Amino acid sequence: MYRCLCPGAIGVSAGLEEGLRLAKLGGYQGLEVGISEVADRMDRDGKDAVLAMFHDAGITPGGFGLPVDWRSDDAAKREADLKALDRLAAAGEALGCVRTSTWIMPASNTLTKEENSALHIERFTPIARVLADHGCSLGLEFIGPATMRKDMKYPFIWDMLEMVELGERIGPNVGLLLDCWHWYTAENTAQQLRHLPKETIVYVHVNDAPAGVLVDEQVDNVRCLPGETGVIDIAAFLGALEHIGYDGPVTPEPFSAKLKGIPAEEAVKMTGAAMANIWRTAGLSE
């Protein structure tokens, strides 16, 4: 596995060239890309030119956000996005960037758990098929904090193993976007993680939780830099991923107040240093 920068996840706006520069500056090995920009660049400049940008920077293409508005109840909009996905997934395949992901709400006020499962299977199955045509995998993120579902009528999926089961019902190329924040707040364990096939983990996010807050009182968008407080056992988390042979991107998503309003280069260096520190904490090789 390798440290991967997603500029937007640390509050930084950057196109492809700037993203590559910042990833290198922060000591990252990978970069999450905007797949529409990549596809447009390939159409304009050719695949080899885009590949050369990553080669020259010494940066690995890490993944891309799922470019389908699957939450929309507008069937025509979803169908248009699905048709566009074929071109975008093909660009990802050409770049060697074959991991995409999205998150799923842990509860609903209108759908029972069974109805919600049926809806997600219906909407994700055609997406997964298009992705599979281009060798791409889809990671689904469960949302762990109890505070995200306590006031909603119908609980859905907020646990790692249940999300694995949903992915299996959708398609063989569907697994987890695994965020250590949600792993911690759902009270999942390293032992559970050690029993998953490595192919189940499509993408990984890391961060930390504020100290002095009970696990069931943690608020989703109040987080800390990876390894900052030690509330989340990041060594156990990364160690379990190393144990199963996960070889994909590990991306910081801290939602940290420390990153607000600071220059992009400073934010990248700060998160890069935190990532290097958790690598050392977990005893991982560079």
Structure confidence at residue 118 (pLDDT):
98
Radius of gyration of the chain (CA): 18
pLDDT at residue 286, rounded to an integer: 76
pLDDT of residue 10: 97
pLDDT along the chain (286 residues), means of 10: 97 96 98 98 97 98 98 95 98 98 98 98 98 98 97 97 98 98 98 97 98 98 97 98 98 95 97 98 90
CB-based contact 138:180 (threshold 8 Å): no
The packing angle between helices 35-45 and 75-95, to 10°, is: 60
43-95: pLDDT as tens digits: 999 999 999 999 999 999 999 999 999 999 999 999 999 999 999 999 999 99
The pLDDT assigned to 285 comes to 83
> Over pLDDT 70: what percentage of the chain?
100
